[in-house]
């Protein structure tokens, strides 16, 4: 294929890297009308990881929007040849996911249920039917399977050539042998790209540098947490009986995928413990490169493969291919604009789904760049979801091994990574260890999930072993008083004469409230979808403190900075300097009084004040995320231990995140990343009360239009009839036999003694949700319940608004 020689001095967009992600991004930018775009490849197209990819496209995913990306890819790959005249090697072979134990069967049934709801063809089949697809497979231990006929595979190099051909037909240019060596920045945003052949001025750069992306991003002051791991597949010579294309056999209990390859077999693995690679060892000369065979490492996988395909015993091995692929700390890729440098985008860290997702990811990115907002919510792959500490090479190397090993793991609820832990600790960490906390990691922070059991629980789809302990913690908050450690909340201080005006422009609620008021608000995108859900305290005329979600500060700081034009405003991330303890429950008031905090009792709902508790300076805000009366107490990080000791001494008991989640779900308090995201507007969420109606703010036009048209979905509570079923919060929901929407949160509600599900239901299918009967599909079995627009517990909110002056005996 011909390539240009003269590097332009200016381009609308520059794509770095000529692998699957770069070619897809270029193609979609050009197709979307951004024709003045160039791709810079240090060596030759596809010479990084892409050329040796097994290139399968498996569409079953755990979320709607990740599924949409792969669905788009499959569609694109099936059409690209007709559009460009370049073969892509696309075969729609289908795939089979087999189960050899009950939990795997539940796992694939859950995936299948979601896949069907998202419009994929999915069919549960028996072991005998697996045999009919794969006569040479040993199916003696197979107890069930799911067949997905829409899946397929592509030839990775051919499909990249087709993408480039399509991109060039729309005006894009490709420069091989052109290495990016640095960036030009101006006022915090990207202004150009320095290359081995000159500089290109541009305000949009997309890093698609595969395993080298972290280093490239570093040149622009951007964090891209990923490192490569070795990834193996075995190739055999021709085997008798393989004379046609077979559905890919996904034997994830054996850590294997198996497919035909030129009349032989390709047997790939995600072994339990991967081999991370220091990227510095794979320099610019790693071109169409492979890593050394490692038969000792592959041996246990070979045994699994021999069990599944006995014919391998006599097959002649062509090679044990070992190629590098990038992995991130949570196994999801990086797609979106960086937090640190406006105009610098990431499309990398593909965790072995770069071909399956590549088409969709490139499309989504191009739409996002063109329109200014993502085509749909992509928070799962938002590059801003990691703190700086997770971008350290040592923590990345440690985690990558586990992430590769987890690729085919059963998606049990409550899974926690075991490597690269203890990166960020709240001031009460030692106390929580004393209380035998079981910790979860969020944005690098260790948060107590529940207490009195530090060892790892046996993961299950059934009733978890912590069930009763969490019930006791809920009981403490419901009948006595509990302490919730909320210190990991992001805390962003916004100060300056223009702070009120600025926040009124970026927040949906009215920020013009007197100092002393707490304001529940959100930041919305231009489509009216949630970017952040937060509580702001107005500390002074020119001073606000925003409490944002634990995982949100990097994302929210970037969002605020993006709209900050007035130099007189300062934004400060105060997260680590302050701690927050929630004191909640009917005895919270008597505890506050005992500790000298009488001022707290005069505080109205959503009001805050500065006072002392046990001689410690705190800012108390009267609100509740759990539906019981109490305060969230913010103090200096250094004072937290003393405050905790005083609260505990006065009778408050620790309660963890699982108790808090159960209580917030019962109260229908919605959470970002679960019930709220970029696709949901306040109208759908029932949060219009927290939106100012007659003012301009980001997203106001879209919200007004939605209000006028009426919601497409409604977030409802569903109380399930069967008290023993265990919904997890992502299941499809059916009304009158029709798919009506998806669950977004679920928990057992200890105060209502039933499983509670929050779900977004289509207003077309379920126009009158109040009292409607709905069915939640849990791994293929439907569980009935009753929907409501109200919270399951204390719908009027009487408990949390208790007026102490009349109702608390002091």
Ligand X SMILES: Cc1cc2nc3c(=O)[nH]c(=O)nc-3n(C[C@H](O)[C@H](O)[C@H](O)COP(=O)(O)OP(=O)(O)OC[C@H]3O[C@@H](n4cnc5c(N)ncnc54)[C@H](O)[C@@H]3O)c2cc1C
Q: Rule CB under 6 A: which residues touch ligand X? A: 16-22, 40-43, 47-50, 52-56, 179-180, 208-212, 216, 231, 233, 323, 325, 348, 350, 352-356
- Measured from the CB atom, the residue of 22 and 597 that comes closer to ligand X is 22
CB of 324 to ligand X, least distance (A): 6
Distance from chain centroid for Cα 126: 33
Closest CB to ligand X among residues 57, 588: 57
Q: In angstroms, what is the minimal distance from the CB of 489 to ligand X?
A: 34
> In terms of DSSP H, where are the helices of 529-611?
553-562, 588-594
| Cβ at position 606, least distance to ligand X in Å | 47
Nearer to ligand X, 155 or 391 (CB): 155
User: Are the C-beta atoms of 632 and 419 separated by less than 8 Å?
Assistant: no
Rank residues 112 and 323 by Cβ distance to ligand X and give the closer one: 323
Going by DSSP bridges, is the β-strand pair 344-348/205-207 parallel, antiparallel, or unpaired? parallel
Q: Which is nearer to ligand X, 192 or 699 (CB)?
A: 192
Give the integer Cα–Cα distance in Å for 417 and 395: 12
Spatial distance between the Cα atoms of 19 and 349, rounded to a whole number of angstroms? 12
> For residues 17 and 528, which CB has a smaller minimum distance to ligand X in the complex?
17
Which DSSP string do the residues of 209-275 spell out, in sequence order?
Answer: -GGGHHHHHHHTT-----EEEEEEEEEE---TT--S---EEEEGGGTEEEEEETTEEEEEE--SS-E
DSSP letter, residue 542: T
* Nearer to ligand X among residue 62 and residue 763 (C-beta): 62
Instruction: Give the whole-angstrom CA distance, residue 340 versus residue 720.
Output: 44
Reduced to 3 states (helix: H, G, I; strand: E, B; else coil), residue 358 is: helix
Write down the residue that tokens 């919510």 correspond to.
377
Cβ closer to ligand X: 146 or 481? Answer: 146
* Residue 390 Cα to chain centre, angstroms: 15
For residues 666 and 749, is the Cβ–Cβ distance under 8 A? yes
Residue 495, classed as helix, strand or coil, is: strand
Q: Which is nearer to ligand X, 16 or 698 (CB)?
A: 16
Rounded CA-CA distance 59/68 in Å is 9
Phi, psi of 304 (to 5 degrees): -60, -40
Residue (117 or 353) nearer to ligand X, CB: 353
The distance of closest approach from Cβ of residue 680 to ligand X in the complex, given in angstroms and rounded to an integer, is 29
Q: What are phi and psi of 426, to 5 degrees?
A: -75, 165
* CA distance to 519, 570, 701, per residue, from 509 (Å): 8, 21, 14
Pair of tokens at residue 381 = 């792959």
Number of H helices, E strands in the chain: 19, 40
Cβ atoms within 10 A of the Cβ of 140, count?
A: 9
> Taking the complex as a whole, how short is the minimal distance between the CB of residue 66 and ligand X, in angstroms?
12
Question: In angstroms, what is the minimal distance from the CB of 334 to ligand X?
Answer: 10
Q: How far is the CB of 373 from ligand X (least distance, A)?
A: 24
Q: Tell me which residue has tokens 């399951």.
A: 792
Q: How far apart are CA 533 and CA 523, in angstroms?
A: 7
- Integer Cα distance of 164 and 4 in angstroms: 13
CA proximity to 677, closest of 772, 727, 764, 742: 742
Minimum distance, C-beta of residue 70 to ligand X, in the bound complex (Å):
9
64 by DSSP, 3-state: which?
helix
Angle at 266 between CA 261 and CA 272, to 5 degrees: 160
> Nearer Cβ to ligand X, position 16 or 506?
16
At closest approach, how far in Å is the CB of 383 from ligand X?
A: 14
| Minimum distance from residue 120 beta carbon to ligand X (Å) | 16
- Minimum Å gap between C-beta 260 and ligand X is 14
Q: Which helix (H) or strand (E) holds 544?
A: strand 543-548
User: Cβ closer to ligand X: 231 or 385?
Assistant: 231
Cβ 308 to ligand X shortest distance, Å: 18
719 CB neighbour count, 10 Å cutoff: 18
Distance CA 672, CA 653 (A): 27
438-to-126, 418, 656 alpha-carbon distances in Å: 39, 12, 9
CB of 33 to ligand X, least distance (A): 23
CA–CA dist 138, 26 (Å, integer): 44
Tokens for 598, please give them: 């009488």
Beta-sheet strand order (sheet of 37-40): 173-175, 37-40, 13-16, 205-207, 344-348, 334-337
Minimum gap (Å) between residue 393 Cβ and ligand X: 17
Residue 41 or 340 with smaller CB distance to ligand X: 41
What's the closest the beta carbon of residue 150 comes to ligand X, in angstroms?
Answer: 15
Angle subtended at Cα 250 by Cα 296 and Cα 360, rounded to the nearest 5 degrees: 110
Closer CB to ligand X, 278 or 434, in the complex = 278
CA angle 651/657/658 to nearest 5° reads: 105
Determine phi and psi for 486, rounding to 5 degrees: -110, 20
Structure tokens at 30: 């050009």
Least CB distance to ligand X at residue 764 (A): 35
Nearer to ligand X, 14 or 518 (CB): 14
Shortest approach of ligand X to residue 212 CB, angstroms?
A: 4
Q: Which is nearer to ligand X, 53 or 341 (CB)?
A: 53
Residue 350 or 518: which CB sits closer to ligand X?
350
């Amino acid at each position: 294929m011909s390539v240009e020689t003269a590097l332009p001095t200016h381009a609308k967009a520059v794509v770095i890297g000529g692998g699957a992600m770069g070619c897809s991004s270029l193609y979609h930018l050009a197709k979307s009308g951004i024709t003045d775009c160039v791709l810079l490849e240090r060596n030759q197209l596809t010479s990084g990881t892409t050329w040796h990819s097994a290139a399968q496209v498996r569409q079953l995913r755990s979320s709607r929007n990740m599924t949409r990306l792969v669905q788009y890819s499959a569609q694109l790959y099936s059409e690209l040849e007709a559009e460009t005249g370049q073969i892509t090697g696309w075969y729609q072979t289908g795939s089979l996911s087999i189960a050899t134990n009950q939990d795997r069967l539940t796992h694939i049934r859950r995936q299948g249920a979601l896949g069907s709801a998202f419009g994929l063809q999915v069919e549960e089949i028996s072991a005998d039917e697996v045999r009919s697809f794969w006569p040479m497979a040993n199916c003696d231990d197979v107890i069930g399977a799911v067949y997905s006929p829409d899946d397929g595979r592509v030839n990775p190099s051919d499909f990249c050539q087709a993408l480039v051909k399509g991109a060039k037909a729309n005006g894009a240019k490709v420069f091989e042998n052109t290495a990016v060596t640095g960036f030009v920045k101006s006022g915090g945003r990207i202004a150009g790209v320095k290359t081995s052949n000159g500089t290109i001025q541009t305000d949009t750069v997309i890093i698609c540098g595969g395993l080298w992306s972290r280093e490239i991003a570093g040149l622009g002051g951007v964090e891209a947490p990923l490192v490569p791991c070795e990834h193996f597949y075995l190739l055999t010579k021709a085997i008798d009986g393989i004379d046609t294309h077979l559905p890919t056999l996904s034997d994830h209990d054996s850590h294997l995928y198996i497919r035909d390859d030129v009349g032989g077999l390709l047997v790939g693995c995600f072994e339990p413990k991967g081999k991370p690679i220091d990227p510095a060892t794979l320099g610019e000369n790693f071109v169409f490169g492979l890593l050394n065979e490692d038969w000792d490492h592959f041996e246990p996988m070979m045994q699994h493969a021999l069990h599944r395909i006995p014919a391998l015993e006599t097959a002649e091995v062509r090679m044990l291919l070992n190629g590098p692929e990038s992995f991130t700390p949570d196994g999801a890729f990086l797609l979106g604009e960086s937090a640190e440098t406006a105009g610098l985008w990431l499309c990398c860290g593909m965790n072995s789904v770069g071909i399956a997702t590549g088409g969709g990811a490139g499309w989504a990115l191009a739409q996002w760049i063109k329109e200014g907002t993502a085509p749909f919510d992509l928070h799962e792959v938002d590059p801003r979801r990691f703190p700086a500490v997770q971008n350290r090479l040592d923590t990345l190397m440690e985690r990558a091994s586990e992430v590769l090993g987890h690729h085919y793991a059963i998606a049990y609820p409550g899974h926690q990574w075991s490597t690269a832990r203890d990166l960020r600790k709240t001031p009460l960490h030692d106390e929580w260890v004393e209380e035998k906390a079981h910790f979860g990691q969020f944005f690098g922070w260790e948060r107590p999930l529940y207490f009195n059991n530090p060892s790892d629980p046996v993961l299950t789809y059934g009733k978890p072993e912590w069930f009763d302990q969490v019930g006791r913690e809920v009981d403490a908050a419901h009948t006595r008083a509990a302490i919730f450690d909320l210190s990991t909340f992001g805390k962003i201080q916004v100060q300056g004469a223009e702070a009120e005006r600025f926040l009124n422009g970026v927040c949906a609620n009215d920020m013009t409230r007197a100092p002393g008021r707490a304001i529940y608000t959100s930041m919305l995108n231009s489509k009216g979808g949630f970017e952040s859900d937060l509580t702001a305290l107005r500390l002074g005329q020119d001073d606000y403190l925003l409490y944002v979600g634990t995982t949100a500060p990097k994302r929210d700081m970037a969002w605020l900075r993006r709209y900050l034009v007035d130099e007189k405003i300062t934004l400060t991330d105060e997260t680590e300097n302050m701690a927050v303890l929630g004191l909640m429950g009917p005895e919270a008031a008597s505890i506050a009084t005992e500790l000298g905090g009488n001022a707290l009792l005069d505080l109205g709902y959503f009001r805050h004040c500065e006072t002392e508790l046990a001689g410690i300076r705190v800012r108390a805000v009267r609100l509740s995320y759990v539906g019981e009366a109490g305060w969230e107490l913010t103090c200096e990080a250094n004072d937290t231990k003393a405050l905790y000791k005083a609260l505990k001494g006065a009778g408050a008991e620790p309660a963890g995140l699982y108790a808090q989640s159960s209580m917030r779900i019962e109260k229908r308090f919605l959470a970002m990343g679960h019930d709220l995201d970029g696709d949901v507007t306040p109208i759908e969420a029932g949060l219009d009360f927290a939106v100012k109606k007659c003012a301009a703010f980001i997203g106001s036009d879209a919200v007004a239009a939605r209000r006028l048209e009426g919601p497409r979905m409604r977030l409802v509570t569903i109380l399930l009839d069967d008290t023993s079923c265990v919904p997890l919060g992502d299941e499809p929901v059916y009304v009158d036999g029709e798919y009506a929407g998806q669950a977004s949160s679920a928990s057992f509600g200890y105060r209502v003694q039933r499983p509670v599900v929050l779900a977004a239901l289509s207003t077309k299918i379920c126009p009158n949700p109040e009292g409607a009967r709905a069915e939640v599909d849990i791994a293929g079995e439907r569980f009935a319940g009753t929907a409501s627009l109200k919270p399951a517990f204390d719908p009027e909110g009487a408990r949390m608004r208790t007026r102490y002056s009349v109702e608390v005996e002091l």
